[in-house]
Structure 1
């Protein structure tokens, strides 16, 4: 896939995310959602980080999108946040990560209050100028007022070389004077959607 196709795909996903809210059945509730990832340094020290600004929709046809503001990374150390945005994510060029997928509406619309189900979703993740297919298993729970929560059942592991992030990790390692930082990053999320 050439760079022009990747750019067009990412722009289409962003436009869909921005415009789908007008017609969406569900809109992501950022205050009640969470998106975490782990990093391991010096082989034995694992830390939890998160992104605090998320947006997304699920429309009437089950087309779902999730946008992550990469500038909202929170590692609990301000200088590390700055280094991640500049050296790893290069947010001046790639400010967002976008995931899009298709879910059959019957999977969640037929749930009763408090009921849950599991399903495997396959979608396209656009990150750092590269788009890759991602597959993961999630749990869907129907809550009060037709709210819908989608959560990982097990961590989703992203490898840095999938999105040309290895050089950025090496730069972080150099700046922090570390012997190692893992190139594999486990991700977990719990996404709350409110019915529109």
Structure 2
């Protein structure tokens, strides 16, 4: 009896490990995900910041939707967080940033747990009332239980001018008494999508 139970458990575990990604839809796991960006001031001082609240879905057809709660920005300096929200992103009027795009799920669903593939994807970013296209090279890795990890292989550069943010950057510079703040920001992401 014990031998049969052990055998059944081993078979089930093996199937779980070798099975491909078969789930139809996925939901972004905020606790297991990261969205970071780097700011550069005084031409040479770089600092890493993050957004603590990100949600989203990946559909069976490959449609990706990611929503970023701008009020969750964390720069480790509360007054700077407040200024970013009020002066730069104007989160009162534009509380979220929305990212949409398309992933080749046919290729993704062929992956076994532990396997990866690389895709070049074009995403639409709606930020500060402006919409523009951003390109990203991502690595998609199949995890256990049909879950997926999607990570940028290279930083995605977001330019302030593309999203009507230059005036806000200049105002931040004045408030902080800085000679310069970069208007181009590198962004990196590592998202985990849980199978529904």
The normalised TM-score by structure 1 is: 0.87
Give the whole-Å Cα distance in 2 for the aligned partners of 1:88 and 1:117: 36
**Corresponding residue for residue 178 of structure 1:** 178
**Corresponding residue for residue 8 of structure 2:** none
**Corresponding residue for residue 194 of structure 2:** 194
Q: After superposition, give the CA deviation of every residue in 1:171-192 in whole Å (9 maximum; x if it has no partner).
A: 1111110010001100001000
Cα distance, 1:134 vs structure 2: 1.2
Q: After superposition, give the CA deviation of every residue in 1:50-90 in whole Å (9 maximum; x if it has no partner).
A: 00000000112111100000000000000000000000000
The normalised TM-score by structure 2 is: 0.87
Give the whole-Å Cα distance in 2 for the aligned partners of 1:45 and 1:34: 22
Backbone CA RMSD of aligned residues: 0.8
The answer to whether structure 1 residue 135 and structure 2 residue 140 are counterparts is: no
Give the whole-Å Cα distance in 1 for the aligned partners of 2:143 and 2:113: 5
**Corresponding residue for residue 6 of structure 1:** none
**Corresponding residue for residue 164 of structure 2:** 164
**Corresponding residue for residue 32 of structure 1:** 32
Give the whole-Å Cα distance in 1 for the aligned partners of 2:175 and 2:191: 33
Give 1 or 2 for the bigger CA radius of gyration: 2
Q: Where do 5+ consecutive residues of structure 1 fail to align?
A: 1-23
List structure 1 segments (4+ residues) > 3 angstroms apart after TM superposition: none
Cα distance, 1:104 vs structure 2: 2.0
**Corresponding residue for residue 113 of structure 1:** 113
Q: After superposition, give the CA deviation of every residue in 1:79-130 in whole Å (9 maximum; x if it has no partner).
A: 0000000000000110000011111211211100100000011121100001
